[in-house]
Amino acid sequence: MEKKIVIDRVLTDSAATDAGIEPGDILLSVNGQKICDIFDYRFLTADSDLVVEIEKKNGEVWEIEVEKDEYEDLGLEFEDPLISEARHCSNKCVFCFIDQLPRGMRDTVYFKDDDTRLSFLMGNYVTLTNMKKEEIDRIIRYRMSPVNVSVHTTDPELRVKMLGNRFAGDVLDKIKQLTDGGITVNAQIVLCKGLNDGPQLDKTINELSALYPGVASISAVPVGLTKWREGLYRLEPFTSDDSAEVIEQVSVHQKRLLEDHGTRLIYLADEFYIKAGIELPSFDEYEDFPQIENGVGLMTLLCHEFDEYLQKNAAELDRQWPGHAPRTVSIATGKCAEKHIKEMAQTLEKRYNGLEISVHAIENEFFGENVTVTGLLTGQDILGQLKGRELGSELLISRSMLKSGEELFLDDHTVEGLSSGLAVKVTIVENDGADLIMKIMGIKQIKGVN
C-alpha cells in the first residue's frame, strides 16, 4: 500500500498558506510527478510555477496553481520528515555504539540509520555501503550537498573488516564520484586503537585530503566504549599517552595542509586533548568549525561564546546582578567538560558577589566510566549521585543530554522526574555560552543582546 504524504505544518506567510493548503491535507503530486521522498519534494518544488495536487480531509482532490520565487520554500512540513522510511544500516561495525547499549531502552534508540537524506537534512553520518550509482547520480542531480560520510579508513581491506560489510571497500571511489559531481563531503574517522590509527590514519588523511576542496573537512573522534561489550570485538580506550601521540601525528598533517591549502582540514575531537591534558586548540584554529555538528570544537566554541558575551554585555550584567543576588546554583556535567565548566563558573563567581556555583561532574554508571561526554549522561545517574546534596535554588543541565525537542533523557527519565526526585528546579541550558551565563545568573533578558 502506497504511503500517504500527510502535511503536518504549513509555514506562516508561505506560498502554501496563500494557496489554501492546510495541515492534514495529503500531498499527491507536484507538476504531475509523484513524490517518493524529501529529495523529490525539494527538487520538484524549486521551480517558480507549480501545480500542486492535494487531497483534502473530506476526500476532495484539488489541483492548485502556485506562483512563488524560484527556490523559495513552498512552506510544507510533513509528519515524516523524510516522507519515506529511513534506510537501515546493513553494516556490522566493530565499534558500533548501538551494539553496546543495554537492553530495555526505548525502541528508537536501537535504530541504526545509514541514509544520505538524513545526512543532508540533519547532519547524520553515512557509510555509503548501501549506495548504488543511481543514488549517487540522484544526489548530484538534486544538488543535495553536503554529505557527511563515515569513512574511518580508506584502506579497502581494513574498511571491509571494520564495517563488517564486503561492499565497504570502495568508499574512496564513491566519495570521488560525489566530489567530481560538485557535492561537498565532510568525512569522519572513528579512531580505534590498533586498527585504523598510526600509519593507517596517515594513509586515510593523505587520500582524503587529496580530494580537497571536494572533501571540505575531516574529523577524528575516539571510539566510544561502554561497559556493555560482552561478546563484541575487543577494543581498548585511548590512554593519555595514546591521545598525545594522535595529537602530535595529526598536527603534522595540519601544518602541511595549512601551508598547501590554507586550511588545517582535519580536526580532532575534544576528548583527545582533554584525555592527554593538552590545552584545546584556540577559536581561530578551528577556522569556521566545519565539524561542530560532530561535537568537534564544541568546548572551545562554548568558552569563546562565554567570554565574548561577558565582555560585550558586562555593563548591563553588572547593572542587573544586584537584583538577583544572592544566588546559589549547581551544574551537572560530564567528566570531559568538568575543567572548563568550572573555569567559567569561577570567572562569574569572582565577578559577582553573592553568586555561588557548584559544578558536579557525573560519573557515567549507566554506560561505564569510559563514557565521559555530557551528552550521554542519564537521568538516573544524575539523580543517584546528587540526591540528598545541597544544590541551591536550581540545577542546570545541558540540552545535549535530552532527546531532540523533548525533555527526555536516554534512559527515559524526564526533566520533571529529576526535578521531583531532587526537590529542586531543573533548568535546561542551550549549547551556547550566552545562555549559560544567563541561566547561571538567573537573568531572563538583556536589551540589545549580543
| Residues forming CATH 2.30.42.10 domain(s) in the chain | 5-78
CATH 3.80.30.10 in the chain, residue ranges? 98-295
Over the range 89-100, which residues count as b (16 or more CB within 10 Å of their CB) and which as e?
bebebbbbbebb
CATH superfamily of 98-295: pyruvate-formate lyase- activating enzyme (3.80.30.10)
Residue 112: the pLDDT is: 57
Report the C-alpha gap between 347 and 341 in whole angstroms.
10
Average pLDDT, the chain: 90
Give the mean model confidence (pLDDT) for residues 235-243: 97
Taking CA 107 as the corner, what is the angle to CA 106 and CA 113, rounded to the nearest 5 degrees?
Answer: 125
2: pLDDT strictly greater than 70: no
CA distance 358 to 391: 8
Q: Give tens-digit pLDDT for 80-139.
A: 766 655 566 778 899 888 888 887 776 666 555 554 554 445 457 888 998 889 889 988
State if pTM tops 0.95.
Answer: no
CA–CA dist 421, 72 (Å, integer): 48
Residue 68 grid cell: 512563488
Range of lowest pLDDT (90-94, 167-171, 363-367, 396-400): 90-94
Domain 302-441 - what CATH class?
alpha beta
Instruction: Answer whether 181's CB lies under 8 Å from 146's CB.
Output: no
Residue 213: cis peptide before it, omega within 30 degrees of 0? yes
| Region(s) of the chain under CATH 3.40.50 | 302-441
Cα 244 to Cα 140, 279, 299, distances in angstroms: 40, 11, 18
Report the 10 Å Cβ neighbour count for 255.
11
Grid cell in block for residue 448: 540589545
pLDDT value, residue 179: 98
**338-351 and 433-441 are packed helices; what angle lies between their axes, rounded to 10 degrees?**
50
Q: Does 448 have pLDDT greater than 60?
A: no
Q: Is residue 374 within a helix (H) or strand (E), and if so which, with residue range? A: none
DSSP β-ladder status, 5-10 and 76-78: antiparallel
Using DSSP's 3-state secondary structure scheme, residue 438 falls into: helix
Residue 446's alpha-carbon distances to 311, 312, 316, in angstroms, are 14, 11, 7
18-68 confidence digits (pLDDT tens): 888 999 998 988 998 888 877 788 888 888 898 999 899 898 899 999 888
197 vs 7, residue with greater confidence: 197
Give the CATH superfamily of 5-78.
PDZ domain (2.30.42.10)
Pairing status of strand 355-362 against strand 327-334: parallel
336-378 pLDDT tens trace:
999 999 999 999 999 999 999 999 999 999 999 999 999 999 9
